[in-house]
Each structure stands twice: as C-alpha cells, then as structure tokens.
Amino acid sequence: MKLYDLSKIADGLLDIHNAGKVHKDFHSGNILEGGKMFISDLGMCQPANNEEKSDKKGVYRVLPYMAPEVLRGYQYTKAADIYSFGIIMNEFLSEEIPFNDVPHDHILAIKICKGLRPKISEDISKFLVDLIMKCWDAKAENRPYAKELYQTLNKWCATEFNDHDDEFILK
C-alpha cells in the first residue's frame, strides 16, 4: 500500500504544479491520510514563476526536507518540491524520520548543501532507491518533474497489483 499512497501524494503534487504553484513547505507533517492522501498547509504556496527573493534573515521551514539550493538562498522552484518528495518517499518507505539523531541547525544545513542525505533502508527495492536518489539529486535539473514522478509510481503500482494479486513486495 505504501507505493499506492506515494503515487497519490505525487498526484497531489502534480495538481499543485499543474496549477503553476510550488508548495514551498512540503514535508511529511503536511501529508494527511483519510481514505486517500492529501497535501495540506498551502499557506506558503505561491506561483512557481514568482521572482521573490529568499529571505536572507532566515528560512522558516522544516530543514531536513529543504533542497540544497533553497538553503543556499536561491529561488524556490518546482524542483525543490521534488527534492522534498524524495525525502518524504524515503521516510515513508523506511519509517525513519530524516536526520532525527542530529540537531537541525546551520551545521546540518551546510552538510545537506555538501551532499548529505538521509540513510536509505536496505529493505527498499533498488527501483525505489533509484527514484529517491533522482528526486534528491544535488542538481535541480536532474530531478524528475511531478508528472514523470506520478506516472512512474502509478505504473509501478499497476505492475505490482497485476503481478502480486494486490500484495506489494518492496524487496
């Protein structure tokens, strides 16, 4: 069911991006479950082409989910939401909160900018690991678009359901 839920979260992110918006505060605390998955807390959501500069006085979001380019002060983009999705995907599959054992401070921010990512559980299938790593690639242009992410997850869901009679096998 986790793969199905992730495809529904990706579908919600696709809806946001298709509306020409970026979420800007995308983390697992903003995912609601109620028969289906919902993305909540759109308070920071704004047009994707907004030329607003990052607030140099401080960034008030959930650090482990923030893309390195945002931490460096660059404009928030749809690719930054995709980075956050990769962190959420890893958390969802591994059932481990990202960087739960270290302070969420400037040192962690620097390490994320230098390439630190949460540990990926050995129980996660290679095809999912590859997608997670593509989502949180250091270069925003290497990350998939929300449409590609949704289509990939949706295809894998259909394959898993057909091959395993409604039973998901993640390894």
- Full 3-state SS string of the chain: CHHHHHHHHHHHHHHHHHCCEECCCCCHHHEEECCCEEECCCCCCEECCCCCCCCCCCCCCCHHHCCHHHHCCCCCCHHHHHHHHHHHHHHHHHCCCCCCCCCCCHHHHHHHHCCCCCCCCCCCCHHHHHHHHHHCCCCHHHCCCHHHHHHHHHHHHHHHHHHHCCCCCCC
Would you tell me how many other CB atoms lie within 10 Å of the CB of residue 142? 12
**What integer best gives the mean pLDDT of the chain?**
83
Confirm whether 137 is a catalytic residue: no
Q: Which domains does the chain have, with CATH numbers?
A: 1-48+59-162 (1.10.510.10)
Mean pLDDT for 142-146 is 97
Cβ contacts of 3 within 8 Å, gap of 6 or more: 128, 153, 156, 157, 160, 168, 170
Mean pLDDT for 148-170 is 69
Phi, psi of 31, deg, nearest 5: -105, 120
Q: Which of 5, 15, 25, 130 is catalytic?
A: 25
Q: What's the predicted TM-score (pTM) here?
A: 0.84
pLDDT tens, 26-59? Answer: 888 778 787 777 766 654 555 666 555 444 444 4
Q: Which own/partner pairs from 52-58 qualify as long-range (CB within 8 Å, at least 24 positions apart)?
A: none
Query: Residue 81 above 60 pLDDT?
Result: yes
Question: Residue 100: what pLDDT?
Answer: 93
- CA 54 to the chain's CA centroid: 20
